Amino acid sequence: MTRPLQDSRPLVAALETRGVEALISPMLTIAVLPDVTLNLDGVQAVLFTSSNGVRAFAALTSRRDLPVYTVGDRTKVTAEENRFERVESAGGDVDKLCNLVIDHRNPGDGVLLHPAGSAIAGDLSGQLSNAGFVVRRAVIYDAQLARGFSGEIRMAILDRELDIVLFFSPRSAATFVSLAKAEGLEQACEHLEALCLSDAVAAAADPIMWRRVLVAPVPTQDSLLAIFDERLGAR
């Protein structure tokens, strides 16, 4: 599991109920930026493209009354856990989030706030700007790249105790590839499968010669779990 720790735990629990043991090796560590001041003036809704954005935003303000739109269901759950009052999920990717916002909001009602990290994927702001909206991006956290594998993970790869590596973002996949090459694990990864959330994630993992690369039919955690269920059912 290569997601940040807080994002990995729910999926680890879901896999354990299926009899699948998982190790967590975060490729990114999330840190809320210091001295950030949120400008909520004129904001009609908040757009979250990750659970990390939800948690960072919640740490910076007590406001929970603004309408919230999330890129996917896992991010929606995180928003609800943080007591946001009105939350709707696009159930997929940035394109679906844009369509959801366009269908439910009016450009004349105010600014759309997008709390995000220092690096983002997709063109949320561009698409919504083309539809007449004003999007205010607030950089409120940073995703710090892992500097190496733990001894436990390194030995698990070398001893072939792992079967699958899960990747949820291009940055996580690219970081894993970079570390594997730097630590001489590239050849050892040839017996592993890479399970990727999207084609973009798979492309970032491509520099390594995996045993097999699998891509979720739709970019959701449930879609990834369905792959596990299919494989377990075939045993």
Residue of 195, 127, 197, 203 whose CA lies nearest to 169: 197
- What is the per-residue pLDDT for 235? 52
> If residue 139 lies in a helix (H) or strand (E), which one and from where to where?
strand 135-145
- Phi, psi (rounded to 5 degrees) for 127: -65, -45
- What is the per-residue pLDDT for 221? 82
CB contact set of 33 (below 8 Å; sequence gap of 6+): 139, 140, 141, 142
Is 55 within 8 Å of 27 (Cβ atoms)?
no
Its domain, for residue 119, covers 30-144
- Phi, psi (rounded to 5 degrees) for 69: -125, 130
Same domain, 71 and 17: no
Structural domain total, the chain: 2
- Residue with the two structure tokens 């990717």: 93
Same domain, 189 and 213: yes
pTM: 0.77
- Residue with the two structure tokens 């890479």: 194
- What is the per-residue pLDDT for 120? 66
What does the pLDDT profile of the chain (235 residues) look like in tens digits? 999 888 898 889 989 998 999 999 999 998 888 888 899 999 999 999 989 999 999 999 999 999 999 998 889 999 999 999 999 999 878 899 999 999 999 999 999 999 998 766 668 899 999 999 999 999 999 888 999 999 999 999 999 999 999 999 899 999 999 999 999 999 999 999 999 999 999 999 999 999 999 999 988 888 888 888 887 765 5
CATH code, domain with 95:
3.40.50.10090
Same domain, 133 and 157: no
> What CA–CA distance (Å, rounded) separates 82 from 65?
12
- Residue with the two structure tokens 């946001």: 84
Same domain, 134 and 153: no
- What is the per-residue pLDDT for 134? 96
Same domain, 138 and 158: no
Same domain, 124 and 40: yes
